[in-house]
Structure 1
Amino acid sequence: MPQPLAYRMRPQRIEDVVGQQHLVGPGKIIARMVQAKMLSSMILYGPPGTGKTSIASAIAGSTKYAFRKLNAATDSKKDLQVVAEEAKMSGTVILLLDEIHRLDKTKQDFLLPHLENGRIILIGATTENPYMSINPAIRSRTQIFEVKPLTADDIKTAIERALTDTTNGLGDTDIKLESAAETFLTTATNGDLRSALNGLELAAKSTNPDANGTINLTLPIIEECVQKKAFSHDKDGDAHYDVISAFQKSIRGSDTDAALHYLARLVTAGDLPSIARRLTVIAYEDIGLANPPACARVVESVTAAQRLGFPEARIPLADAVIELCLSPKSNSGMMAIDAAMADIAKGHYGDIPAHLKDAHYKGAAGLGHGVGYAYPHNFKNDWVKQQYLPDKIKDAQYYVPKQNGKFETALGQQYDRLRSAQHQNKH
């Protein structure tokens, strides 16, 4: 049985990797490692189908090292021993270890010395957050890189490459992919290239050619083959982003029914990643300090939805949307950090006051570091007046409180009291 299209189209050179240019683009960290042949073990984490295996395959192809692939959950210590023996006999082996977050202690203890001596270059792949799920012993011996969902343009590039590649792709077949179908294929799979290529291959193999021998792939055919409907997509690819935009603006504008309508479009399209990301952004961007408990509940709802999957995921998502719509709103947190970053971009920062500098080393006092620092907990109400900002911007104010909820109203009152005390008799 022939290998799937997604497997055949895996890149053999780092230059052929689709997307992930923050890692493999010219001058970026993994490209530099490959160019210098100074590879170190790494963990790649991100959603399925975004190129973790492709990057590992391309690294091996570009460096000409042997490439082996195992699964931490299903392959045994004996399988690791076979790879280690190969590395001992023939030199460096690149080992892609899928689901590395499920590596047990026995396998981990076996791997560690081989990582230390460099015989095995480990590339761990996981959809889990490695800072939470990977054992510290492995984590400390690897570099951690986030692999991001592919953009529609990335997937379009890969699809067009697959349609023209006569060696590994579908280039030997006369296929006409309708424009609307291509656009849908690039957006409906939510950055999952494997799903896009699987859908394309299924459509091509299951569609009869016309009288001229051409396989015409239309929007309904692609919809059927990826099992999603184009409710939130149009022929230009803009409607998907229009729905996301309308979704956020409806919540921001406190229109519950409109927000539920746009949520329903996204649920119908099966777009859980976009919903999860957008709801989390909305919670902290638009509700923020006006109602922090709502922000925390949104994170819980999104986590529950991701664990449940559709169709049940729609329930916690709907609860979260309704609460966000009816919650008081505030964007003061976002505005505050943006104002602080804008100041830095303009060169407004200055030297950290000497009394705030690190004093936990010999000779610090001789440099004046930490000298004169007043420890707030030694004073009444655990507060003492002293300067924290650099001299150059000592009077800067970034946070401007709003009064759109009890929580931020109270925060604002405390902020005003402390700021007034801090700057009292300054001028």
Structure 2
Amino acid sequence: MQPLAYRMRPTNIDEVVGQQHLVGPGKIIRRMVDAKMLSSMILYGPPGTGKTSIASAIAGSTHYAFRMLNAATDSKKDLQIVAEEAKMSGTVILLLDEIHRLDKTKQDFLLPHLENGRIILIGATTENPYISINPAIRSRTQIFEVKPLAENDIKVAIERALKDKTRGLGESPVHLNDTAETFLTQATNGDLRSALNGLELAVKSTPATDGKINITLPIIEECVQRKAVSNDKNGDAHYDVISAFQKSIRGSDVNAALHYMGRLIEAGDLPSIARRLMVIAYEDIGLGNPQACARTVSAVQAAEKLGFPEARIPLADAVIDLALSPKSNSGIVAIDAALEDIRAGKAGEVPDQLRDAHYKGAAKLNRGVGYKFPHDYPNDWVKQQYLPDRLKQATYYQPKTNGKYEKALAEQYQRLLAAQRH
């Protein structure tokens, strides 16, 4: 029997879950389908994120024949059969999985068919096509990145599968409790195939009680082979772990920080780790070590591309870097102080010399008159008022001196303040 994930593949573009940057209203693949002007493409991204589903949906929406082959295991003869079908019946959409493993013989056979449009190739790969795919194929295709599904996308697919009586589990009296459903949307890390197959295993292996198949958190944990390490029914434990994670980095305890991130990794919660690390970098380290902030962004981007389990490596590097970096929260303190004045009604008018003066008649309104262009003066600085009159003595930035970089900024800041007020 075909797995649930296979049976629930979309039959048209409207049924695609997630990937709205490609199939949403007005987006590129949706436009191709609506106009029936398909071009060959390569879809790349992590497993279970919808590459095959998009190909199936395109075929269903356009009513073209749809065939699936694997570049690694299917032969040139299999490609020839698809090409013959295209000659006889018209356009065929060919989903070629693992396209990065397409050898030269198969590639040379395919190229003329792509050129004349008889075969619309949709290549699927988890590898970066700019590195792993031959330029001859790459130049004849458009390349689209397929992203891990959001928790809400997976929830939509799960609920659709539970209701569908033809392709899904709608004929079974399933009750999936809220905790189990939330965990299923999180633990599979954006992989819809794993979520649906785990759900199906849970349903088929759980006996009914009082006419209901009750799917609980322990059952889902067993079926997806992942433990809800940081989750509880109300989500309190999950947020406690995230809080402890940030506070451990802020407190420079690298071992505790790695421990709490390990719990989040075991829960499969890459989105929370990624978001929290970038917040920590700029909120708690900030100007104490700006280079660490940039490195953290790069590490998060690498982790999101890699997915688990490999994502743990750049994430661990970032945690160690941040925990052992000099700390400074002067940035968040400064902007919050400025916002506090603004929200208290202390904004004031922009000084005339700073106002927009690019239009005719501005000078008659005294706009821009008297503005001193700093680059015309020694050291590219000249004394003049920038803040509104009622706030001209305000100071929001209170520098820390834990790191060399901010210590240098603090010295420059004090020199400029003194010169401005002299």
**TM-score with structure 1 length normalisation?**
0.70
Q: Give the corresponding residue for 1:357.
A: none
Q: 1:33 to 1:250 in 2, by over 3 A?
A: farther
Shifted more, 284-293 versus 67-76: the winner is: 284-293
Q: Give the corresponding residue for 1:150.
A: 149
| 1:320-350 CA-partner distances (Å, limit 9, x unpaired) | 422321023589999xxxxxxxxxxxxx99x
Q: Give the corresponding residue for 1:228.
A: 226
Superposed counterparts of 1:330-349, under 5 Å: none
- For the residue of structure 2 that corresponds to 1:322, the secondary structure is helix
| 1:32-73 CA-partner distances (Å, limit 9, x unpaired) | 111111111111111111111111101001111011111122
Superposed counterparts of 1:315-354, under 5 Å: 318=316, 320-328=318-326
Q: Give the corresponding residue for 1:180.
A: 179
Q: 1:15 to 1:303 in 2, by over 3 A?
A: closer
Q: What is the one-letter code of the residue matched to 2:30?
A: A
Q: Give the corresponding residue for 2:261.
A: 263
Q: Give the corresponding residue for 1:117.
A: 116
Query: How far did residue 300 of structure 1 move?
Result: 7.9
Q: Give the corresponding residue for 2:390.
A: none
- For the residue of structure 2 that corresponds to 1:18, the secondary structure is coil
- For the residue of structure 1 that corresponds to 2:231, the secondary structure is coil
**Runs of 5+ unmatched residues, structure 2:** 333-354, 359-375, 377-385, 387-396, 413-422
Q: Distance in 1 between matches of 2:144 and 2:300?
A: 27
Cα root mean square deviation, aligned: 4.1
Q: 1:175 to 1:256 in 2, by over 3 A?
A: same
Q: Distance in 2 between matches of 1:402 and 1:142?
A: 52
Superposed counterparts of 1:198-217, under 5 Å: 198-210=197-209, 212-217=210-215
- For the residue of structure 1 that corresponds to 2:263, the secondary structure is helix
Q: What is the one-letter code of the residue matched to 1:226?
A: V
Q: 1:108 to 1:245 in 2, by over 3 A?
A: farther
Q: Give the corresponding residue for 1:135.
A: 134
Q: Distance in 1 between matches of 2:281 and 2:128?
A: 21
Q: 1:218 to 1:146 in 2, by over 3 A?
A: same
Q: Give the corresponding residue for 1:80.
A: 79
Query: How far did residue 316 of structure 1 move?
Result: 7.1
- For the residue of structure 1 that corresponds to 2:37, the secondary structure is coil
Q: 1:301 to 1:65 in 2, by over 3 A?
A: closer
Larger radius of gyration: 2
Query: How far did residue 279 of structure 1 move?
Result: 5.4
- For the residue of structure 2 that corresponds to 1:328, the secondary structure is coil
Aligned-residue identity in percent: 78
Q: Distance in 2 between matches of 1:73 and 1:331?
A: 52
Q: Distance in 2 between matches of 1:116 and 1:411?
A: 59
Query: How far did residue 274 of structure 1 move?
Result: 6.0
Q: Distance in 2 between matches of 1:248 and 1:86?
A: 59
| 1:250-283 CA-partner distances (Å, limit 9, x unpaired) | 4355342442232121233245676578658866
Q: Is the 8 A contact 1:294 1:323 kept in 2?
A: no
Q: Is the 8 A contact 1:53 1:125 kept in 2?
A: yes
Q: Is the 8 A contact 2:186 2:269 kept in 1?
A: no
Q: 1:13 to 1:320 in 2, by over 3 A?
A: same
Query: How far did residue 130 of structure 1 move?
Result: 2.0
Q: Distance in 2 between matches of 1:252 and 1:136?
A: 47
Q: Give the corresponding residue for 2:106.
A: 107
Q: Is the 8 A contact 1:152 1:191 kept in 2?
A: yes
Q: Distance in 1 between matches of 2:250 and 2:131?
A: 32
- For the residue of structure 1 that corresponds to 2:26, the secondary structure is coil
Q: Distance in 2 between matches of 1:100 and 1:288?
A: 43
Q: Is the 8 A contact 1:291 1:329 kept in 2?
A: no
**Runs of 5+ unmatched residues, structure 1:** 335-347, 352-384, 386-394, 415-427
Q: Distance in 1 between matches of 2:307 and 2:9?
A: 31
Q: Give the corresponding residue for 1:15.
A: 14
Q: 1:185 to 1:33 in 2, by over 3 A?
A: same
Q: Give the corresponding residue for 1:196.
A: 195
Q: Give the corresponding residue for 1:166.
A: 165
Shifted more, 189-198 versus 314-323: the winner is: 314-323
Q: Is the 8 A contact 2:278 2:293 kept in 1?
A: no
Q: Is the 8 A contact 1:183 1:236 kept in 2?
A: no
| 1:186-214 CA-partner distances (Å, limit 9, x unpaired) | 1111111111111110000101111x321
